[in-house]
Structure 1
Amino acid sequence: MKTFHIYLGLLLTLLLAVSCSDYLDVRPKETIPDTNPIFDKTSAEQAVRAMYNKFYYGAASYTENGTSSGGSPSFEAIGYLSGGNVKWTGSQSQIGEFEKHRVNAENSTVSNTWTNIYRVVNLANSVLAKVPQITGDPTLTEALRDQYLGEAYFVRAIAYFDLARVWGGVPIITKPTEVATDNVGIGRGTVEEAYAQVLSDLEAAEPLLPETTDRYRATRKTVWALRARYHLYQREWALAEGYADKLIADEANYKLAGPYNSFFFPATVRGSVESVFEIFFNGTTEINNHFSSWQIQANGGTRQWAPSDEIVELLNDPAIGGNRNTLFAKDGSGNWYNNLYYRKPGSDPAFVIRIAELYLIRAEARAEQDGKLVDAVKDLDAVRIRAGLAGSTATTQEEVLEAIALERRVEFAFEHHRWFDLVRTDRAADVLSITDKGRYVMPIPAAERLVDKTLDQYAPYN
């Protein structure tokens, strides 16, 4: 995460095989090279692909090459290890800081994540600034121009969404960075301003994108899915319900795959009806490094991340986990390891949004509204029944919300929702004994504050 002057690298793989991974990249203390200007349809498409390239690696790790130092994806380390579903078995003490909820500003994982998310932001900013200026190329149709801009707005939206939920208030950058000092002095905005940027970008993206089904690139449907998640975080229940319903109602394209593991097993499965948005890795030029971090040595991994004792107990409980215990396996020494990522040498897709999340978003949103508790339980039961469980016995609002929270924990056991769920519902204090709400967010990297003194380390989360 070096100097905050715009670094990016957001979600996980290379959607499209491209040879322009350095396209429009930003370097610290340098002018951004413009050897690949955006001036026609071809260069615009290359820029969008480069944006996705950085964005996809960020989904898995928010790092430039898919791994942080030591081989463990950075963004996931923050979400996984902070939430109690995953434990760290490696030797790096700075990774263990997340389990203890005492993360230092010098933590390299935090720094790398900050840097590379802002790299994604800058690539999106470049597309948004330069594509509208292209003239004289008849092959760049209005529909294509709109699509490229819509994709850039979406990518920037999800980048700021993750910045907000990891750090709270952050600097809001909406123009391309030309030199490293461009953004010094902007300062740290509020968490409300960060989420306002997310909504603004999603609103801008929606009318520009086609209403098609694409599980690897942003479409209007992908925007709806992220809006459902956004409104859930904002406690805007009716809107969260409405946007989730748009995807759930599209049964021809999205449905709960059965049995549970059929969206990731066998190894030939990609882009199933379960996926709203996932990241593709081919296992050669694009590697999902989750394989190495999760698998045991006998399978070619390091098992630096392992299922926690608590999540093992929950998933092995037939009344809670159901058939979701296929998410892990045990080696001959009795060590549990993750089986969501198992394709050697790393071609497993990364799941950004699944239809199961939309069901549970709608369930929670309905449970929070008067007169919709029965419908909330129906959505909850759809996910439970797919997992081989009976319907929920919860009846009161409190019971239903608790059941939904538990369902989210086991349904997305290794998809890093847990920590952010505890924070957004203000349960981290009770569940994880975190008495200082300042620890709900990560510290601004120390290197950033050395360059920009306006970055307040102790800005409140709310």
Structure 2
Amino acid sequence: MISKNIKIAVALVVLAFSATSCEDFLESKPISQIGETDFFKTESDFTQAVVGAYSALAQVYSGNGYYSLLVDLRSDNTSELVAGASGNDAKRNIDEFRETTDNEHLTAFWQTSYALIARTNSILVRIDGSPVGDDLKKQYTGEASAMRALAYFNLVRLYGGVPLVTEPVTDIDASYSVGRASVQEVYAQIEADLTKAEGLLPVTYDDANTGRITKGAAQSLLGQVYLTQKKYAEAAAEFRKVVSSGTYKLLSVYADLYKAGQQGNSEAVLQVQYKGAANGLGSNLPNHFAPTGSEGITIPSGGAYGFNQPTDDIANAYTKGDVRRNNIADGYTLGGAFVAAKYVRGYVERETGGGYADSGADWYVVRYADVLLNYAEALNEVNKGPVADAYAAINQVRKRAGLADLAGLTYETFKNAVYDEERLESPFEGHRWFDLLRTDRALTVMNSKVSGPGKSTVGISTPIKPYQLLYPIPTLVVTTSSPAIVQNEGY
């Protein structure tokens, strides 16, 4: 049973701080819960606290956060193709835009996001006066700032204005009176955090620390934040830093992105990393993406739930010769018979582990290909037409996909070409719904694909309305904080 103290976002910051220590970045073990005031005393304490923040980040993108359900399932790229109980299947309701304010996944994502914010706040408020060495102090401040920014970036795009908590809150009663900041205020904090992180983080780490947030990751996230707000010149400037740094490059073979052992590859600007067979450090991605009924075939064990299966719409969007289409399997064989149930090879057939949430399959938050395409988009907007650098960026991605270079396009045709590439390059990595929102196409695109009852194509059978571009604030948050927190319009 969830206690009252974690029903509201800001109350999460007073939970006993559970951090971890590590031999290397992924091999961490829990320490006993301990009060924050008593905990932060040594450099080792802060080291454990930062790893604890990464542990909370892992929960957002796998674990209890169900990030992929809220973003990919919402889009036209994936659907929960296995019928659930009508009207009360939390996942299917998200897919079909029928979720209610008490949807368990909306509540879980809110809570895991604010748990991450709580851990970063605890670090940031104390580290300046700590005995941590100067180099590590800069690094830890940068990492915590970037993680907090990423949490708020997700929240503001999904819910709109949210409570903006930047310090630990020790007064429970006072926490219930914290209202929602405006969207503009939340973005201002995100920009400030990422700008600070960019100036503090290292370019790279040694192998034992692969997966930590780098300068390039902060710059890429900041570029996406600017792009989302249509600050195109600022976005282009951030992406240019990443491209010109020479730190990242595309893998030569697209399928290699999803092979085992690809943690920290040259294209991975920011991954949320997991470790299989390591006592709770694994991801549940193969279990969630494997078609229902395919346990023992597509994955060895742990359950196959079919939460996020590719739609025919995305499968049919690829042109002949596009190697990225092979990341979508059309089904599997059971008892000698073919079962037509699409799934994402990149999750289901990679590092599947030996049980539930026991996979080493990572989540790409940002790949270099994403940076190149976002850079091309921003340059086209700045110049009101494609320039040489914009063509160079998009054509790198297309060449690897086995497609011909683009040339001679107008502002409009290039823009649409970038939109298409953004969808086809990383359709199952949490970008599509946010891309539709950012480019003001969500209503038009989704409503053009409405199907009748029982004719599942992209998961919706009736047109969506403007208010559904945001999720409702979870009931638990509104009821414990009314009148400070008011529900989103339409819910």
Tell me whether the two structures share a fold, i.e. TM-score over 0.5.
Answer: yes
Query: In the aligned structure 2, how far is the partner of 1:47 from the partner of 1:23?
Result: 12
Query: In the aligned structure 2, how far is the partner of 1:363 from the partner of 1:325?
Result: 22
Q: Is the 8 A contact 1:277 1:352 kept in 2?
A: yes
Determine the structure 2 residue equivalent to 1:126.
122
Instruction: Compute the displacement of 1:381 (Å).
Output: 1.4
Query: In the aligned structure 2, how far is the partner of 1:333 from the partner of 1:458?
Result: 41
Q: Is the 8 A contact 1:151 1:205 kept in 2?
A: yes
Q: Is the 8 A contact 1:306 1:337 kept in 2?
A: yes
2:315 aligned to which of 308, 312, 317: 312
Q: Is the 8 A contact 1:306 1:338 kept in 2?
A: yes
2:93 aligned to which of 94, 97, 104: 97
The one-letter amino acid of 1:443's match is P
User: SS of the residue aligned with 1:390?
Assistant: coil
Query: In the aligned structure 1, how far is the partner of 2:258 from the partner of 2:32?
Result: 31
Q: Is the 8 A contact 2:57 2:272 kept in 1?
A: no
Determine the structure 2 residue equivalent to 1:17.
27
1:242 aligned to which of 222, 237, 245: 237
Query: In the aligned structure 2, how far is the partner of 1:166 from the partner of 1:281?
Result: 25
Aligned-CA RMSD value: 2.3
2:215 aligned to which of 215, 220, 225: 220
Determine the structure 1 residue equivalent to 2:203.
211
Determine the structure 2 residue equivalent to 1:150.
142
Q: Can you list the C-alpha shifts for 1:389-443, whole angstroms capped at 9, x where unaligned?
A: 1123661111111111111111111112111111111111111125532111110
Rate the CA distance shift 1:270–1:416 in 2: closer, same or farther, 3 A. Answer: same
User: SS of the residue aligned with 1:386?
Assistant: helix
Q: Can you list the C-alpha shifts for 1:32-60, whole angstroms capped at 9, x where unaligned?
A: x44851111011111111111111221x2
Instruction: Compute the displacement of 1:208 (Å).
Output: 2.4
User: SS of the residue aligned with 2:204?
Assistant: coil
Query: In the aligned structure 2, how far is the partner of 1:115 from the partner of 1:19?
Result: 22
Q: Can you list the C-alpha shifts for 1:152-211, whole angstroms capped at 9, x where unaligned?
A: 111111111111111110010011132433422121111111111101111222222233
Q: Is the 8 A contact 1:21 1:53 kept in 2?
A: no
The one-letter amino acid of 1:204's match is K
Determine the structure 1 residue equivalent to 2:325.
325
Query: In the aligned structure 2, how far is the partner of 1:448 from the partner of 1:362?
Result: 37
TM-score of the two chains, using structure 2 as the length reference: 0.82
1:419 aligned to which of 412, 415, 433: 433
Instruction: Compute the displacement of 1:263 (Å).
Output: 1.9
Instruction: Compute the displacement of 1:21 (Å).
Output: 7.1
Query: In the aligned structure 1, how far is the partner of 2:128 from the partner of 2:412?
Result: 50
4+ residue segments displaced more than 4 Å: 21-24
Determine the structure 2 residue equivalent to 1:40.
42
Determine the structure 1 residue equivalent to 2:386.
373
Q: 1:263-282, aligned counterparts within 5 Å?
A: 263-265=257-259, 267-282=260-275
Determine the structure 1 residue equivalent to 2:376.
363
Query: In the aligned structure 1, how far is the partner of 2:215 from the partner of 2:33?
Result: 26
Query: In the aligned structure 2, how far is the partner of 1:394 from the partner of 1:292?
Result: 45
Q: Is the 8 A contact 1:5 1:181 kept in 2?
A: no
Query: Structure 2: which 5+ runs fail to align?
Result: 1-5, 333-337, 354-358, 448-462
Query: In the aligned structure 2, how far is the partner of 1:172 from the partner of 1:35?
Result: 22
User: SS of the residue aligned with 1:340?
Assistant: helix
2:159 aligned to which of 131, 156, 167: 167
Rate the CA distance shift 1:365–1:216 in 2: closer, same or farther, 3 A. Answer: same
Query: In the aligned structure 2, how far is the partner of 1:171 from the partner of 1:455?
Result: 8
Which is worse superposed, 423-432 or 172-181? 172-181
Query: In the aligned structure 2, how far is the partner of 1:178 from the partner of 1:234?
Result: 33
Query: In the aligned structure 1, how far is the partner of 2:313 from the partner of 2:443?
Result: 18
Instruction: Compute the displacement of 1:291 (Å).
Output: 0.6
- The reply to whether residue 455 of structure 1 matches residue 485 of structure 2 is yes
Query: Structure 1: which 5+ runs fail to align?
Result: 25-32, 68-72
The one-letter amino acid of 1:56's match is A
User: SS of the residue aligned with 1:360?
Assistant: helix
Q: Can you list the C-alpha shifts for 1:370-397, whole angstroms capped at 9, x where unaligned?
A: 2651332332111111111112366111
Determine the structure 2 residue equivalent to 1:3.
8
Query: In the aligned structure 2, how far is the partner of 1:102 from the partner of 1:189?
Result: 26
Query: In the aligned structure 2, how far is the partner of 1:459 from the partner of 1:379?
Result: 40
The one-letter amino acid of 1:236's match is K
Instruction: Compute the displacement of 1:22 (Å).
Output: 7.0
Q: 1:46-85, aligned counterparts within 5 Å?
A: 46-58=48-60, 60-61=61-62, 66-67=63-64, 74-85=66-77
Instruction: Compute the displacement of 1:2 (Å).
Output: 2.6
Q: Can you list the C-alpha shifts for 1:96-140, whole angstroms capped at 9, x where unaligned?
A: 122222321110000000011000001000001122232xx4xx2
Rate the CA distance shift 1:231–1:373 in 2: closer, same or farther, 3 A. Answer: same
- The reply to whether residue 294 of structure 1 matches residue 289 of structure 2 is yes
Query: In the aligned structure 2, how far is the partner of 1:129 from the partner of 1:459?
Result: 35
Determine the structure 2 residue equivalent to 1:446.
475
Determine the structure 2 residue equivalent to 1:30.
none
Q: Is the 8 A contact 1:20 1:46 kept in 2?
A: no
Determine the structure 2 residue equivalent to 1:28.
none
Query: In the aligned structure 2, how far is the partner of 1:23 from the partner of 1:393?
Result: 59
- The reply to whether residue 431 of structure 1 matches residue 445 of structure 2 is yes
Rate the CA distance shift 1:371–1:77 in 2: closer, same or farther, 3 A. Answer: closer
Q: Is the 8 A contact 2:385 2:410 kept in 1?
A: no
Q: 1:377-388, aligned counterparts within 5 Å?
A: 377-388=391-402
Instruction: Compute the displacement of 1:309 (Å).
Output: 1.0
The one-letter amino acid of 2:342's match is W
Query: In the aligned structure 1, how far is the partner of 2:141 from the partner of 2:439?
Result: 33
Instruction: Compute the displacement of 1:456 (Å).
Output: 1.2
Determine the structure 2 residue equivalent to 1:70.
none
Q: Is the 8 A contact 2:384 2:411 kept in 1?
A: no
TM-score of the two chains, using structure 1 as the length reference: 0.87
Q: Is the 8 A contact 1:48 1:152 kept in 2?
A: yes
Query: In the aligned structure 2, how far is the partner of 1:269 from the partner of 1:146?
Result: 28
Q: Is the 8 A contact 1:231 1:237 kept in 2?
A: yes
